[in-house]
Chains A and B, each alone.
Chain A
Amino acid sequence: MAHISRRSVLQGMGAGLGALAAAGPLFNANKAFAAREKELNILCWEGYNSAQVLDPFRSQTGATVKAESLTNDPTMINRLRAGEINTWDLINVNNPWARKVMLPEKLIKPLPKAEFEPFFAKMMPEFKWPYKWAMSEDGSELIGMAQRFGPYSFVVNTDKVSRKTAEDTGWDLFNDPALAGKYGILESDDWNVFNIFIIAGIDPFKVHTPDEFAKFEETAKRVFKGAKLIGDIASMNQALISGEIDLHMTGGTYSVSPARADGHPNLRGITPLRGPLPGGKGGIAWIEITSTVNNPNLSPLALDFLKYVQGPEVAHTVAFAEGTFNPVAQMGNKACFDLFTKDELDAIQWDSLQEEMDRSAEYDIVPDYDKALDLMNAAKRLRG
């Protein structure tokens, strides 16, 4: 029978505090192990944080790898701005942020060109060295590696709206009063800003005039009022499959591929044939760039991980990591491409990928995004 008295409890606590004091340096491991050889922290879009991708790397290196996924670029970048530059080793965001924002603000640091240039030779032709979004504005520095990409405009149930009609009518589908109450809007507000501009017939990636903003506001109010629901990817796919909606704004391979892989090939990401984007393009495509954070104590594993995900098997795993399925630049390498089954290629709409990318402008930064977002949020509140 244990005999517990106040004295014994206090003695125990004293011993505990002593042990805590002795173990103190462990709580400051970053400084104690200055090189951080066994630690890697990744800030990324979902997929890179999956066990399928990380576990083999953990086994190979014996390292503690932590990855946090977020679903919009500005949040990730502001985490670095707010002081987490000392925490993260890799950041994975959409194409323009590395080149136009993070490098000028010294949030990321360049990669050793000699080590990474050879990987571009094995990527798909449009990613060949020197790939624009992987390089600094002046072209002198390599600032990140490309991997996942895809067209991202809107998604239709082709049983209700044929692919031909959707591609031909394009964004005007959302101007059609007959379709009010039959479409959803994916909760991805940065993309929704782009798409409201496009539905209004305006190029989103430029400085806008007051008249254009007035048109944007009117369009936002109308499009949001007409939406049956706003929700996440799972909600959109569920609503499409159940027949609650026939199409949804903001979406593409990234959002619809899980549903297609689940046996719903009638759901399809659509890139319109034409639109108000430069060159008359009708869609927008994203390309993820993964960069090393300008962490004063960067883990050496950061570069190892960037090389690791270039391997054919790992690239295939990244493409089909849990959550969303996407094409990867490494599919230019036959060894990687051959790992994709027919069903997997169908899920990522490989049959039309090239033509959709050709019809898409590349994701860019809206110069007056804040104002547009405020107008769109106000429009959203008027739904009720």
Chain B
Amino acid sequence: MADLAIAPPRQEAAPEGAAQLRHARMLSVGARCALPVALLLGIGFLAPLVAIFGYAFATPRSFDVFTSFTLANFATLFDTTNTVWLSFFWSCGLALLTVAILAVVAYPIAYGLNLVFGRWSALISVFFVFPLFVSENVRLYGWVLFFIKNGVLDGTLKWLGLAGGPEVLYSPGITLFGMVYTYLPFMLFPMTLGLALVPRDLVDAARDLGAGRLFIWREIELPLAMPGILIGMLLTFVLAIGATAEAKILGGQSIIVISHDIEIAFTYSQNWPLGSALAVLVTFFIGALTLFALSKLDLDRMLGRR
């Protein structure tokens, strides 16, 4: 085992003289050592965003990034005849529905992980995490094989002498199913954490004072677990609004989602400026929504500092 010799804490004495003042204002050794990596990460984070932002104002269907400036791409997107709003509508609608369904589905599981499953909780958690180790596309193709005509479900039912499975593939409904399936862990675990922060003493006290189960849930559990629930909802919404694979693989492109529209602009259309403008709009929309939601969250309470 390695010993880590930790330097004694720095004396916080008032600096004396210009040299000491300069020394005090300098970054610590650790910060200076981390500077190159921090710069690299900063550039890596900012460079693509700056490029996308630059392209959003470039001449349509050109590569004149930073050398041309036009609002034509945004004008195209806001043109009333442009049907891109349909894609936006589908992405937002499906993301909202995904969040709503997951909130209802994940809550009992999160409750169970905290209070019911006991020593099995860890194993059950692993079952929910395990699918994340397999590529999303592979899992979705697996569902196609399950639902497809003469596939696992239909074939088994026919083998049993029944009429066969329902025709569910290639529809907006199955796209929603795919999104709920894919994003379940992202709702479940923040929610589990939120519920874990509810002090059991408070629940017991309320019960002792005669509060009913519904009252305790509404007045104590839900408000105290809300930061975790909201984080889960936010995370799920942000991921779901950018989802493409579900609509493509399970949904058979029965609807076109906004991220697919961006992809088309960058590939077949080769209209990088239009795709960038669309990406910028979606980024701002999600960013504004995230900031709004975070402003409503009391992180101190969530982290248990109060």
- A-to-B contact residues, CB < 8 Å: 1-6, 10, 13, 72, 74-75, 78, 81-82, 184, 187, 189-190, 228-231, 234-235, 238-239, 242-244, 370, 373-374, 377-378, 380-384
Contacts and interface: CB of A to CB of B under 8 A. Distances in A.
B90 interface: yes
B63 A81 contact: yes
Interface of B: 1-7, 29, 33, 61, 63, 82-84, 86-87, 90, 141, 144, 148-151, 169-170, 172, 248-249, 252-256, 261, 264, 267-271
Contacts of A1: 1-3
A297 B148 CA distance: 51
A190 B255 contact: no
Nearest to A188: B268
Nearest to A185: B253
27 contacts: A2-B2, A4-B3, A6-B7, A6-B29, A10-B29, A10-B33, A13-B33, A74-B268, A75-B268, A75-B270, A78-B270, A187-B248, A189-B268, A190-B268, A229-B170, A229-B253, A235-B249, A238-B144, A242-B148, A244-B170, A370-B269, A374-B269, A377-B261, A380-B256, A383-B254, A384-B90, A384-B254
B86 A6 contact: no
B170 A381 contact: no
Given A5-B5, A230-B252, A244 B63 contact: no
A168 B84 CA distance: 38
A4 B149 contact: no
Contact of A228 (B170, B269, B271): B170
A239 B148 contact: yes
B152 to A, nearest CB: 11
Given A231-B252, A235-B249, A381 B4 contact: no
Contacts of B256: 377, 380-381, 383-384
Contacts of B267: 72, 75
A78 B254 CA distance: 29
B264 A377 contact: yes
A74 to B, nearest CB: 5
B122 to A, nearest CB: 33
Contacts of A3: 2-3, 5
A189 B267 CA distance: 10
Contact of A244 (B1, B5, B149): B149
A234 B252 CA distance: 12
A184 B141 CA distance: 17
Contacts of B63: 78, 81-82
Contacts of B141: 234
Contact of A187 (B3, B149, B253, B269): B253
A179 to B, nearest CB: 16
B64 to A, nearest CB: 11
Contact of A370 (B7, B61, B83, B249): B61
A10 B5 CA distance: 13
Contact of B4 (A4, A13, A243): A4
Nearest to B167: A244
A13 B37 CA distance: 13
A243 B155 CA distance: 12
Contacts of A380: 253, 256
A238 B145 CA distance: 9
Contacts of A13: 33
